[in-house]
């Protein structure tokens, strides 16, 4: 018995399959409409960009783009945006203009817009900056905006902060004490001098600019990094924590990937948007670690 499908029947089935695969008239019309709308949008954006480029009072931004989830955008590239300049404009303002006017898929983090939340640290013209604190008028053009180096890029200017948070967590970044005041509602007081000593270290906003600038952290993934060490300094130097807790903190800092990894390159101090003397704090903790290990017979 033959298993071949009779020719006539085969042809009829193929025609039926083709008819099924072919888009209906309505779908074709909708697709054409979508394409025409996309062409009009592209043309409008090109005209706006041309007009802006011709305007002298316009700045040129070259922004890093990458989207691992969208076909055609998986190759890293730079997109150029022309943004009308206004006095007092920051890099964040310019990025927001580019996103709202030209490309709504342009992705970056921001929140407070006043150098407090630490979410918009970026690599601007080759240096780590907070975008909301960086004036356009102080930068050379074209302005090149990239995600923070030495971190995995999630999309466009957004980097994965997981590793940074892990390092912060490793130094137990919270106040600990065995010596609580007597009264339940009594404040745990600190001397004025001690408050002055830790004042600058309390200003950290967890932006990760310092970690991104550090060559040592780039080569040693386990290095605690300047931000975490500074956070440890903030508590180790706080007189209210007491000697036993300080001892525990120094043990964390003395480990192989702790303070001794720092090569005093000062790059972290240079880029810190809150002017924290990070390198100095690390050196002071090195001295504390040495004192801690001195033995007198």
Residues that bind ligand FES (CB under 6 A): 110-113, 115-120, 130, 132
CA 66 to chain centre: 14
What are 115's two structure tokens?
A: 């150098």
Q: Are 217 and 268 in contact (CB under 8 A)?
A: no
Q: How far is the CB of 206 from ligand FES (least distance, A)?
A: 10
What are 4's two structure tokens?
A: 């071949």
Q: Which is nearer to ligand FES, 116 or 290 (CB)?
A: 116
Radius of gyration of the chain measured on its C-alpha atoms: 29
Could you tell me what percentage of the chain is helix, strand and coil, using 3-state DSSP and rounding each to the nearest 5?
A: 50, 10, 40
Q: Which is nearer to ligand FES, 110 or 144 (CB)?
A: 110
DSSP state for residue 135 in the 8-state scheme:
B
Q: Which is nearer to ligand FES, 99 or 110 (CB)?
A: 110
Q: Which is nearer to ligand FES, 119 or 201 (CB)?
A: 119
Cα angle 59-269-286, degrees, rounded to a multiple of 5? 165
Q: How far is the CB of 276 from ligand FES (least distance, A)?
A: 15
Q: How far is the CB of 114 from ligand FES (least distance, A)?
A: 7
> What gap in Å lies between CA 150 and CA 38, rounded to an integer?
36
**Cβ neighbours, 10 Å, residue 227:** 29
Q: How far, CA to CA in Å, does 204 sit from each of 14, 147, 284?
A: 68, 20, 17
**Cβ neighbours, 10 Å, residue 233:** 27
Q: How far is the CB of 65 from ligand FES (least distance, A)?
A: 21
Q: Quick one: which of 155, 162, 180 has its CA closest to 242? A: 180
Q: How far is the CB of 202 from ligand FES (least distance, A)?
A: 16
Q: Which is nearer to ligand FES, 110 or 257 (CB)?
A: 110
> What gap in Å lies between CA 92 and CA 94, rounded to an integer?
5
Q: Which is nearer to ligand FES, 70 or 112 (CB)?
A: 112
Q: How far is the CB of 118 from ligand FES (least distance, A)?
A: 5
Q: Which is nearer to ligand FES, 133 or 163 (CB)?
A: 133
Q: How far is the CB of 213 from ligand FES (least distance, A)?
A: 17
């Amino acid at each position: 018995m033959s298993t071949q499908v009779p020719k006539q029947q085969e042809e009829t089935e193929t025609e039926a399959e083709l008819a099924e695969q072919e888009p209906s008239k309505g779908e074709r019309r909708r697709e054409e409409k979508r394409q025409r709308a996309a062409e009009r949008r592209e043309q409008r954006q090109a005209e706006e960009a041309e007009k802006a480029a011709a305007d002298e009072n316009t700045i040129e931004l070259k922004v890093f783009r990458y989207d691992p989830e969208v076909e055609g955008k998986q190759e890293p590239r730079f997109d150029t945006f022309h943004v009308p300049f206004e006095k007092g404009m920051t890099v964040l303002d310019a990025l927001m203009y580019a996103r709202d006017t030209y490309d709504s898929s342009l992705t970056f983090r921001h929140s407070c817009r006043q150098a407090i939340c630490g979410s918009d640290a970026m690599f601007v013209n080759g240096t780590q900056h907070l975008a909301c604190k960086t004036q356009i008028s102080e930068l050379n053009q074209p302005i090149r905006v990239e995600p923070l180096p030495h971190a995995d890029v999630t999309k466009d200017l957004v980097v994965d902060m997981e590793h940074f948070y892990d390092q912060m967590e490793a130094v137990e970044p919270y106040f600990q004490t065995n010596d609580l005041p007597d009264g339940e509602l009594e404040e745990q007081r600190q001397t004025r001098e001690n408050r002055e000593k830790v004042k600058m270290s309390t200003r950290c906003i967890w932006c990760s600019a310092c970690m991104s600038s550090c060559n040592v952290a780039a080569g040693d993934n386990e290095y605690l990094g300047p931000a975490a060490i500074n956070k440890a300094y903030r508590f180790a130097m706080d007189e209210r924590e007491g000697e036993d807790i300080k001892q525990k903190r120094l043990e964390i800092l003395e480990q192989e990937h702790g303070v001794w990894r720092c090569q005093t390159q000062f790059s972290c101090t240079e880029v810190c948007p809150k002017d924290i003397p990070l390198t100095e704090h690390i050196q002071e903790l090195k001295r504390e670690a040495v004192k801690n290990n001195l033995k007198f017979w």
